[in-house]
Amino acid sequence: MAEVVIDGIAYEVNPDNNLLQECLSQGLDLPYFCWHPCMGSVGACRQCAVKQYRDADDKDGILVMACMTPATDGAIISIEDPQAKDMREKVIESLMISHPHDCPVCEEGGECHLQDMTLMSGHNYRRYDKKKVTHRNQYLGPFINHEMNRCITCYRCVRFYDDYAGGTDLSAQASHHHTYFGRYDEGVLESEFSGNLVEVCPTGVFTDKAFSENYTRKWDLQVAPSVCTGCSVGCNTTPGERYGSLRRIVNRYNSEINGYFICDRGRFGFDYVNSEDRIQVPLVANGSDMEEVPAGELPPAIESYKGAGVIGIASPRASNESNFALRCLVGHENFYSGISDIEHEATQLILSLARDSAFNTPSVREIEKADAIVVVGEDITNVAPRIALALRQSVRNKAKELAGGCNIPIWQDAAVKELAQHDRSPLAILSSYATRLDDVASDVVIDSPSKLTSIGSAIASSISDKAPSGNSNEGVVSRIADQLVNAKHPLVIAGSSVGNIGLIQVAANIARALNDKRNEAIDLCLVVPEVNTIGMSMLVNNCNTLGVALDKLQSGAASKVIVLENDLYRHASYTAVDAALDKADGVLVIDQMPTRTTAKASTLLPSTSFSEHEATYVNYEGRAQLSFQVHRNPTAAIPAWRWLSEQQRGNIDALINRCAEEAANFEKLDDLLPDLNEFVASMKIPRQSHRYSGRTAMKANLNVHEPKQPVDDQSVMSFSMEGIPVTSDIPVLGAAWAPAWNSNQSISKFQDEINGELKQGHTGEFLIERNESGDYLDIATPNVSSNGLQLAIAYQIFGSDELSAKASTIQQRMTDAYVAISPSDAQSLGLNQGDEVSIDGNRHVAVACIRSKIKEGTAAVYCGDNDIDRHALGTTIALSKMVGENLYRGIKGLIVSDLYEESY
C-alpha cells in the first residue's frame, strides 16, 4: 500500500492504480469523463485535473490529470485547489460548446453523467454565443438511438465498442470539433454488446431505442435487483417498470459476474412480459375449446393432479422454487428432467465435474484473468455471451504482461495497446464453423464434431501421457498444449449446447491433464444454455430423463402430467411429444406465453415472469442468486410455485427454507435471503426512488384520490418510496444513487473500492462442493454414418433462447432457420446461397447458407425459433434442394449470417 495526501488528509491507496481511481475509491468527488473503471485511462477529456505538489514545501504545484498520474507513495495532491477547480470548470465549458443543452427532451436527463459532472465542476453559465457544430444522426438498428449533437468527444463509446467488445463498425471519424462517432454507413450496429453504449456514453448520444418508445424518467421507474434469465451466466440486472409495463433493463454491477456490462439479449429480450399474448387466466379444455375459469375460482381439475399416475416435467427456465414445488407435489421419483436426454446426460456430467476437486469453475471475473484458453466446440458468443466478452479481455493479458515488463501501469490503456500491437494471449478455438471470437483467436481449428474430439484428445495426451490418446498429429495440437502448460492461468471451456458429450469429456480430459502436470485445480468452464439448467438438474434424479417421462405417458404407466414452464417441443422430437401428450388423460401446463405445448394443455395456468416474482436461479458455476420481484402482474397469473403449492398460499421465504432443508446440495440456498430483522428498524427497501412522482396522477382518470400502495408481505422490498434511504450501508441495493451522482457511475459509491465488491456484499452462494476426485473419461464417439453431412447444431444470441425470442425488440434481429455448408458441398449438392432446402426428406425446411469457413462434410444447422425439429435429426443429415424462390436476400435478420460470412 502507499500513502497519498489529498487536500491535507492522508489516505492509504493502492500504488498500482491512478489517482482518479483512488480518489473515487476513497469516496471523494472528482469529475471525469473518458476514464472508465474497466477500460482504464487515455487522458482525452482533461476533466479530472488536480493539483500535485512536489513535497510539503511546494506551495505552487502543477496541474495534472488524476487519471494519468500514478498513486505513488508520498504523493500530495489537491482536488479543491482553486486553479484545479477553475480548470475543470473551463474544460467542461469547452466540452459543451456545441452541446445542445436539451436536457428536458434528452432521455439521459436525470441519469446523465454530463449533468452530474457539470454541476460538480461548477460550470453554470454559457458564454459561447456562436453557431454550434451540428451533426446528422444515423439509423443504428432496433436497439440504439443516435443523437450525435450531444457528444462531448470523450471517446468512451469507441473504446468500449471497438477495443473492449471487438466491434468493427463504430468509429471516430473526422477530427477537431467535427469528430463524429458512428458507423461509416448507417445501419444496424453489429456487436452483440451494443446496448452497453447506452451506459458507457456519459451523455445522451446513444440511448435505448425500445425504452424511448415507452419512455419515463429514471426516478419514475419502479425497480428491484434482478437476475437475467437469458442464459446460464446469470448477469445481474435492474429492470424498471412504470404504469404496469416493464420499460427497460440496465446492468447491475456484480464484481464476480457481469461487472459493468451485459449483452443485448439480456438488455433487450424482455418485452414479452408486456405482451398481450401473455396467458392471463386459467383455462380448461371443454371439447376442442379452452374455457376461462371465473375469477377467484380454481380449475376443478387441479385437484386430480395429485397421487398415483401423475408425473411432473421440470423446466430449465423456471426458478428453483417452482421446480422444487413441482417435485414436492408429484414426489421426487415422479419428477422428470425438462431438457433433452442428450442435454440431460451432458448436464449430469457437468455436475459431476463440478464436484471434482481437480477443477475450478471460474467466474466471469476469473475468466478475464486467463492467459491461455482453449474452447472445445462451444459457440460462446451465442450461448453465453457475457463470457465471450470476458474472453476478449483475457486475450489482452499478454499486453498487460508486456506492459508490466516495461513498467507501464496497466491502466495506461493507450500505452499498453501501443506496446502490444496485435500481441495477444493465446486463445484456441475448436469449432465446426467460424465463430465471433475467431478475430482474437491464435488458432481456429474448424472441423467436424467427431474430428474435434480426436484433436481435443490429442491435446490432452500431449499434455499428460496419462490421458487417453487422441488421433491427430497436427502441429496445432502441440502448440495449444504448450500454451496451456506454460500459462499462469490456463482455462478450458466447453458446454452442452452442441449436444455432443464427447466434447465435454475431451475438455475435462484436457483440464485433468493440466491438473496432472501442474498439480493445481484447473479452470474448467462448462456452460449450459438456460438460466436454471443447473438448478433444475440438481433437483432431478439422474435416471429421470425426459425420454422416460414421455415413454411413461405413451405407455400408460403415467396418466397425467404437469408441465412446468417448458415448451417440450424444444427438448424432444415433435413425434415423441405428440405421442405422449395425446395419450395422457390430463395435461396441466403452467406457463407465461403460448407455446406448442400450451396448445396441448387440458388445463392451462398462467404464471408470472421473471420480473413479477421473487426467485432463485443457479448459474453455470453452481452459484445461486436471488432475483427480486419488480412489479405486480395485474392478471390472474401467479408464480408457478404457488399453483403447485397447497391451496396456492405460502411464502417464498418458507419455500426457499424448505428447499434448503430437503433438497440435496441446496443447503446454502436460504443464505441468500436477507433478514428483515437485521434491517434498520425493520424498515423495508423501497422499489421506488425518493423522487418518484405522479402516484396520484397515475390513476387520475379513474379516481383523483391517491390509492394505497400495495403491501408486499412476501419480500424485504416495498412497493413504495418509503423505507431505508439509499446509502452505502443498506443491506440490499435496489438502485444505485448517491448525492450528486445520478447516473450509473454512482455505483462507485457502493463498491468497497473501484471494481471491488459491493458493500452489500452478496455475489451469490455456491451450492456445489468440490470434494470428489475423478479420473480421465473415455470419449463417447457417436456413430457417424458415412452418408450425408455431419450435423453441428448452431445457436444464435437472438433467437435460441425461448423467452427472449418472444420479445419484439429481439425479433427484429432474429435469423430464420438455416443450414450452413461449405462451398464444395454446396456445389456437389447443386445448391446456391439462399436456396430453400429440405433436411432428411421434406420434414424440415431451412435456407442454405454457403460459408467459406465450415469443414467440407459438415452442416451447421440453426433451427430458428424451433422451426426445425432438432431432436428428430440424427448425427448426419441429408440435404436436398427444394423448388422455389431463392431466399438469400429475404432471410429475416440475415445480418447475423452475413457477419459470419464477411467478417472471417
Contact residues for ligand FES (CB under 6 A)? Answer: 20, 32-35, 43-48, 65, 67
Q: How many CA atoms does the CB half-sphere of 101 hold within 13 Å?
A: 12
Nearer to ligand SF4, 152 or 887 (CB): 152
The binder of 156, among ligand FES, ligand SF4, none, by C-beta within 5 to 8 A per type, is ligand SF4
Task: Tell the smallest beta-carbon distance from residue 242 to ligand SF4 (Å).
Answer: 22
194: helix, strand or coil: helix
Residues pairing with 717 in the sheet = 685
**326 near 335, Cβ under 8 Å?**
yes
For ligand FES, which is the closer residue by CB, 47 or 315? 47
Cβ closer to ligand SF4: 123 or 642?
A: 123
**Does residue 385 interact with ligand SF4 by CB under 6 A?**
yes
Nearer to ligand FES, 49 or 339 (CB): 49
Out of 247, 265, 570, 571, the only residue in the binding site for ligand SF4 (CB under 6 A) is 265
Task: State how far Cα 464 lies from the chain centre.
Answer: 35
| 154 forms part of the interface with ligand SF4 (CB under 6 A) | yes
Q: Which residues, 298 to 357, sit near ligand SF4 by CB under 6 A?
A: none
Q: Considering beta carbons, is residue 153 or 280 the nearer one to ligand FES? A: 153
The answer to whether the CB of 220 falls within 8 A of the CB of 729 is: no
Only one of the segments 262-270, 582-590, 607-615, 705-713 lies at the binding site for ligand SF4 (rule: CB under 6 A); that segment is 262-270
User: Residue type for 752, please?
Assistant: D
Q: How far is CA 211 from CA 235, 245, 734, in A?
A: 20, 11, 20
Judged by CB, which is closer to ligand FES: 40, or 167? 40
CB nearer to ligand SF4: pick between 528 and 791: 528
Distance (Å) of CA 83 to CA 59, 272, 313? 12, 53, 69
Task: Please identify, using beta-carbon distances, which residue of 230 and 338 lies nearer to ligand SF4.
Answer: 230
* Residue 386 found at the interface with ligand SF4 (CB under 6 A): yes
Closest approach of Cβ 159 to ligand FES, in Å? 11
Name the binder of 777 from ligand FES, ligand SF4, none, CB < 5-8 A by kind. none
Indicate the SS3 state at residue 64: strand
Question: Which listed range, 259-267, 275-283, 368-376, 685-693, lies at the site for ligand SF4 (CB under 6 A)?
Answer: 259-267
Nearest distance from residue 404's CB to ligand FES, in Å? 22
Give the one entry of ligand SF4, ligand FES, none that residue 313 binds, where binding means its C-beta sits below a cut-off of 5 to 8 angstroms depending on kind.
none
Segment (H or E) for 581: helix 574-583
Q: Is-contact 272 296, C-beta < 8 A?
A: no
Three-class SS of 702-759: CCCCCCCCCCCCCCCEECCCCCCCCCCCCCCCCCCCECCECCHHHHHHHECCCCCCEC
Residue 635 DSSP class: S
- The single residue listed with the C-alpha cell 469528430 is 179
848 lies in the site for ligand SF4, by CB under 6 A? no
Binding partner of residue 65 among ligand FES, ligand SF4, none, CB under 5 to 8 Å per kind?
ligand FES
Please select the residue that binds ligand SF4; options are 31, 234, 490, 674, rule is CB under 6 A.
Answer: 234
Q: Measured from the CB atom, is 44 or 403 closer to ligand FES?
A: 44
Size of the site for ligand SF4 (CB under 6 A): 26
Q: Which is nearer to ligand SF4, 457 or 625 (CB)?
A: 625
Q: Does 381 bind ligand SF4 (CB under 6 A)?
A: no
Q: Which of 195, 239, 259, 266 binds ligand SF4 (CB under 6 A)?
A: 266
Contacts of 843 (CB under 8 A, 6+ apart): 869, 872
Parallel/antiparallel/unpaired status of strands 765-766 and 623-627: antiparallel
Rounded to the nearest whole angstrom, what is the least distance from the CB of residue 623 to ligand FES in the complex? 34
Q: What's the rounded Cα separation, in Å, for the pair 736 and 743?
A: 8
Asked if 157 touches ligand SF4 (CB under 6 A), the answer is yes
**Binder of residue 736, out of ligand SF4, ligand FES, none (CB less than 5 to 8 A by kind):** none
Distance in angstroms (rounded) separating the CA atoms of residues 684 and 677? 10
Give the integer Cα–Cα distance in Å for 617 and 645. 19
Alpha-carbon gap, residue 518 to 524, rounded angstroms: 14
Considering only residues 235, 416, 501, 618, which one is a binding residue for ligand SF4 as defined by CB under 6 A?
A: 235
- Residue 428 interacts with which of ligand SF4, ligand FES, none, CB < 5 to 8 Å by class: none
Q: Least distance to ligand FES from the beta carbon of 45, Å?
A: 3
Smaller CB distance to ligand SF4: residue 33 or 359? Answer: 33
For residue 607, the minimal CB distance to ligand SF4 (Å) is 20
Choices 152-160, 505-513, 561-569, 596-604; region in contact with ligand SF4 by CB under 6 A: 152-160
| Residue 201 touching ligand SF4 (CB under 6 A) | yes
| Nearer to ligand FES among residue 35 and residue 641 (C-beta) | 35
Is 233 one of the binding residues for ligand SF4 (CB under 6 A)?
A: yes
Sheet holding 560-564, edge to edge: 289-292, 283-286, 603-606, 586-591, 560-564, 310-313, 335-336
Cβ closer to ligand SF4: 530 or 869? 530
CB 659 within 8 A of CB 321: yes
Q: Does residue 77 touch ligand SF4 according to CB under 6 A?
A: no
Instruction: Report the amino acid identity of residue 621.
Output: E
| 3-class DSSP assignment, residue 410 | coil
Nearest distance from residue 687's CB to ligand SF4, in Å?
21
- Considering only residues 161 through 200, tell me which ones interact with ligand SF4, judged by CB under 6 A: 181
8 A C-beta contact, residue 428 and residue 403: no
Q: Find where cell 513498467 sits.
A: 407
Indicate the residue whose CB is closest to ligand SF4: 266
How far is residue 521 CA from its own chain's centroid? 26
- Residue 316 binds which entry of ligand FES, ligand SF4, none, with Cβ cut-offs from 5 to 8 Å by kind? none
**Least Cβ distance, residue 150 to ligand SF4 (angstroms):** 7
Task: Output the 3-class SS for 422-471.
Answer: CCCCCEEEEECECCCCHHHCCEEEECCHHHHHHHHHHHHHHHCCCCCCCC
Instruction: Identify residue 75 by its one-letter amino acid code.
Output: A
**Beta strands across the sheet bearing 789-794:** 876-877, 789-794, 858-862, 818-821, 844-850, 836-839, 879-881
Spatial separation of the C-alpha atoms in residues 190 and 815, rounded to whole Å = 14
DSSP per-residue codes, 653-686: HHHHHHHHHHSTT-TTGGGGS--GGGSGGGPPEE
Please state, in angstroms and rounded to a whole number, the distance separating the CA atoms of residues 684 and 717.
Answer: 5
**Among 756, 724, 750, CA closest to 737:** 750
Closer by beta carbon to ligand FES, 260 or else 900: 260
151 binds, among ligand SF4, ligand FES, none (CB under 5 to 8 A by kind): ligand SF4
Counting contacts by CB under 6 A, is residue 31 touching ligand SF4?
A: no
Q: Does 152 bind ligand SF4 (CB under 6 A)?
A: yes
Continuous segment of H or E residues that includes residue 109: none
The residues with which 627 forms a beta bridge, in sequence order, are 615
Residue 380 found at the interface with ligand SF4 (CB under 6 A):
no
Q: Which of 36, 156, 218, 327 binds ligand SF4 (CB under 6 A)?
A: 156
Stretch in the footprint of ligand SF4 (CB under 6 A) among 145-153, 556-564, 770-778, 839-847? 145-153
Using DSSP, state whether 302 is helix, strand or coil.
Answer: helix
Tell me how far, at minimum, the Cβ of 202 lies from ligand SF4, in Å.
Answer: 6
Q: What is the pattern of x (binds ligand SF4, CB under 6 A) and - over residues 213-232?
A: ---------------x-xx-
Tell me, what amino acid is at 394?
Answer: S
Q: Residues 272, 803: contact at Cβ < 8 Å?
A: yes
The radius of gyration of the chain's CA atoms, rounded to the nearest angstrom, is 28
The CB-of-389 to ligand SF4 minimum distance in angstroms stands at 8
Residue reference for cell 456484480: 254
Name the residues that contact ligand SF4, by CB under 6 A: 151-157, 181, 201-203, 205, 228, 230-231, 233-235, 258, 262-263, 265-266, 384-386
